[in-house]
Amino acid sequence: MEIEKGYHCVYSIKYHIVWISKFRYKKFFGQVEKRTQEVLKQIASDYDWTIEEIDVSPDHLHLYLAAEPTDRPDDIIKWLKTQSSKTLGKEYPYLKNKKNAVWARGYFITTVNDKTTAETIKRYIRNQKELSKQGRLF
């Protein structure tokens, strides 16, 4: 486990985050899939977060992200989804719906604990495409 040092704290905060495309439409393939990863990594970098693992599937994505204790989980997701939706919507207009949304409103988030190791989550994210073919999201 990597321990980070802040001004007045020592921490290790990592999240497994999942969200789906609007209406669960399968639109993220090839170049769009690759560009989505690039956009999310850039946004994370801008906020000093680290995306340790990412998988963009045709209708949803998984992130394994390290953040600082001053960043609220709902803000992290809000900034990632809002900014990526704006960028991807401009570059690929067919991703947007009538209300200019690329992503659905909800999300799943969990923290890493001693029973769910970082490697377990990373392996799960890496194998996501295979699990999707079986019709399983979790």
Question: In this model, does residue 7 exceed pLDDT 70?
Answer: yes
pLDDT at 15: 94
Question: In this model, does residue 43 exceed pLDDT 80?
Answer: yes
- CATH class for the region spanning 4-133: alpha beta
Q: Which pLDDT tens digit goes with each residue over 44-76?
A: 999 999 999 999 999 999 999 999 999 999 999
pLDDT at 114: 55
**What gap in Å lies between CA 29 and CA 17, rounded to an integer?**
20
**What gap in Å lies between CA 62 and CA 111, rounded to an integer?**
13
